[in-house]
Amino acid sequence: MSIVDVDRFVADGFVKVEAVVPREVGDAARALVWQQMGLSPDDRSGWLQPVVWAADLTGVGPFGEIMRSPRLNQALDEVAGPGGWVPRGSLGNMPIRFPGVEPADDRGWHIDASVAKPDGSWAVSGRPESLLLLVLLSEVGDDDAPTRIRVGSQRDAERLLGEQVVDPFEAGPLLDTASKDRPVTYATGLPGDVYIVHPLTVHAADEHRGTRPRFMSQAPVFLTAPVAPGEGNALARAVL
Ligand SMILES: O=C(O)CCC(=O)C(=O)O
């Protein structure tokens, strides 16, 4: 039985996969991130920054359990094709967003850099080489700084960029304009839910209007071939 509604992914440029692991595994991962930050869920006096960056580079314990989840792996097979993506063990970078403080100025619409240039810097292109996983590690509602996603915007980004390789900061405002009429949805859910996001889907952070810190990782999953419009896997069809 399939996990992903592939036609929806092709239309919308993202899909939510609920409970790739039991919620308790997501809760255990969040507890480790609190430790790493040196902050406490029970002591708001330490919540002084709008965003604290944490990371998992090891894939130990619950982090690896999430990334190696058979359910997530099957979902990635359905989107990128078996053998079309490179397994990773770690969750990568995590922007933890806190309530009750002035929001950070990091909420512009963008796509993530996924193309390495010969000089080692990273760029965006209409031929991206990774997809984006948003892994929720806390309960995220509409007010809890969910990532905002412009539904269907992967087609705008592909049309805008084509085969060009562009500096991510130059591309941001152009992508914003190109996709401004798309409806917006929020990456909400529960610990252990994952959003598989097309690498050309335009998205942005949100301010925190709620009360509970938002825990999420934003890991790239590298592809074995760049995405190009075509009749191949769901990534290719999503930009046809
Ligand atoms: O919601 C967030 O914190 C930002 C997500 C984001 O912009 C990204 O994954 O590139």
Residue 90 domain-assigned (yes or no): yes
Residue 159 domain-assigned (yes or no): yes
- Find, among 113, 100, 74, 133, the residue nearest to 212 by Cα: 100
Distance 232 CA to ligand 1 centre (A): 28
pLDDT at 207: 97
Distance 94 CA to ligand 1 centre (A): 9
Residue 64 domain-assigned (yes or no): yes
Which residues of the chain fall short of a pLDDT of 70? none
Which positions ≥6 away from 2 have C-beta within 8 Å?
A: 78
pLDDT at 32: 98
> What count of other Cβ atoms lies within 10 Å of the Cβ of residue 219?
21
Phi, psi of 40 (to 5 degrees): -130, 140
Please choose from 49, 97, 218, 221 the residue to mutate so as to test ligand 1's pocket, defined by most ligand atoms within 8 A of CB: 218
Residue 1 domain-assigned (yes or no): no
Ligand 1 atom nearest residue 216's Cα: 3
Task: With beta carbons less than 8 A apart as the criterion, state whether 225 and 97 touch.
Answer: no
Please indicate whether residue 20, judged by its CB atom, sits closer than 6 Å to ligand 1: no
CATH of the domain at 111: 2.60.120.620
pLDDT at 128: 98
pLDDT at 70: 98
pLDDT tens per residue, range 43-88: 999 999 999 999 999 999 999 999 999 999 999 999 999 999 999 9
pLDDT tens per residue, range 14-34: 999 999 999 999 999 999 999
In one-letter notation, the amino acid at residue 35 is: Q
Query: Rounded to whole angstroms, how far apart are CA atoms 187 and 144?
Result: 10
Please choose from 93, 107, 132, 134 the residue to mutate so as to test ligand 1's pocket, defined by most ligand atoms within 8 A of CB: 134
Domain count, the chain: 1
Query: Which range of residues forms the domain containing residue 169?
Result: 6-237
Residue 214 domain-assigned (yes or no): yes
pLDDT at 132: 98
Residue 212 domain-assigned (yes or no): yes
Rounded percentage of the chain residues whose pLDDT exceeds 70: 100
Please indicate whether residue 205, judged by its CB atom, sits closer than 6 Å to ligand 1: yes
In one-letter notation, the amino acid at residue 132 is: L
Query: Rounded to whole angstroms, how far apart are CA atoms 147 and 198?
Result: 14
- Find, among 178, 183, 173, the residue nearest to 158 by Cα: 178
